[in-house]
Amino acid sequence: MALDELKSAVPDFAKDLKLNLGSVIGNSDLPKQQLWGTVLACAIASRSARVLRELEPEAKANLSAEAYTAAKSAAAVMAMNNVFYRTRHLLSDPEYGTLRAGLRMNVIGNPGVEKVDFELWSLAVSAINGCGQCLDSHEQVLRKAGVDRETIQEAVKIASVIQAVGVTLDAEAVLAE
């Protein structure tokens, strides 16, 4: 199992990450599609080749072709949206918030999977990318759809652990050169 290989690659000084990786994925209460879509989207968003290489095959095996593509689409569109909306939010001139975005985001309206799943994946990617406006937007859509806070927090925990594992393993690879 690739998850076990990834856990074994985490150095001893980051034992908490190893334990958390096993628990947030291995003991998740999320339905399989929500879990593995979140894992795939976050592995992509982590920008860690090692994390993506290790987690993608298991994600692909646990997702339908449509869900696999939708999770990759969530990572892609949020990579753009998180930069755009975070920048508009951070600029001190509020006029930027009144300007038309003019960016295509059609996949959000028709992701090819349940809207709740896509929103959860988008929220998790937004957590990695640090866009508060996108986090608020996706959280509100999820809450209006009846998703509880515990489910939303579970996706954020997956995002945080995958990101931390990617940072740690990438740093160790550089230091080993």
Q: Could you give the residue numbers annotated as active site?
A: 131, 134
Alpha-carbon gap, residue 17 to 32, rounded angstroms: 22
Distances (CA, A) of 66 to 72, 118, 146: 10, 11, 23
Task: Concatenate the DSSP letters of all residues of 62-109 into one string.
Answer: HS-HHHHHHHHHHHHHHHHHHHHHHHHHHSS-GGGGGS------HHHH
- Which residues lie below 8 Å from residue 143, measured CB to CB, with a gap of 6+? 149, 152
